[in-house]
Amino acid sequence: MYMTFRWFGSADPVTLPYIRQIPGVEGIVSALHEVPAGEPWPKDALTRHAEKIDAAGFRFSVVESVPVHEDIKLGRPTRDRLIDHYCLTIRRIGELGIPVLCYNFMPVFDWMRTTLDRRLDDGSFTLAYDHADLGRFDLARGLAGLPAWASAYEGPELAALLAAYRDVHEEQLWEHLGYFLERIVPVAAEVGVKLAIHPDDPPWSIFGLPRIITDAAALARLVALVDHNANGVTFCTGSFGARVHFAHCRNVRVTGDRRFYETPHPSRFGSVDMPNVLRALRDVGFSGPMRPDHGRMIWGEAGRPGYGLYDRALGAMYLQGLWEALADEPVAPQSFARASR
Contact residues for Mn ion, defined by CB under 5 A: 248, 293
CB 336 within 8 A of CB 284: yes
Encode burial over 214-232: b for 16+ CB neighbours within 10 A, e otherwise: beeebbeebbebbeeebbb
Closest distance to Mn ion from the beta carbon of 315 (Å):
12
Closest distance to Mn ion from the beta carbon of 198 (Å):
6
CB nearer Mn ion, residue 65 or residue 71:
65
CB nearer Mn ion, residue 204 or residue 299:
204
CB nearer Mn ion, residue 110 or residue 301:
110
At residue 247, the 3 state secondary structure works out as strand
Closest distance to Mn ion from the beta carbon of 108 (Å):
18
Q: How many CA atoms lie within 13 A of 207 on its CB side?
A: 24
CB nearer Mn ion, residue 71 or residue 201:
201
CB nearer Mn ion, residue 92 or residue 113:
113
User: Could you give the CA distance from residue 7 to residue 236 in angstroms, rounded to a whole number?
Assistant: 22
CB 159 within 8 A of CB 295: no
| Cα dihedral 238/201/218/322 (nearest 10) | 0
Closest distance to Mn ion from the beta carbon of 338 (Å):
23
CB nearer Mn ion, residue 130 or residue 293:
293
**Which residue's C-beta sits nearest to Mn ion?**
248
Q: Which segments within the chain are labelled E, that is strand?
A: 2-6, 25-30, 59-64, 100-103, 115-119, 125-130, 194-197, 231-234, 244-249, 251-256, 259-263, 289-292
> DSSP class of residue 191?
H
User: Could you give the CA distance from residue 277 to residue 250 in angstroms, rounded to a whole number?
Assistant: 11
- Of the candidates 174, 150, 152, 165, the one whose C-alpha atom is nearest the C-alpha of residue 74 is 165
CB nearer Mn ion, residue 92 or residue 211:
211
State which H helix or E strand residue 179 sits in.
helix 170-191
Closest distance to Mn ion from the beta carbon of 326 (Å):
22
Closest distance to Mn ion from the beta carbon of 66 (Å):
15
Closest distance to Mn ion from the beta carbon of 48 (Å):
26
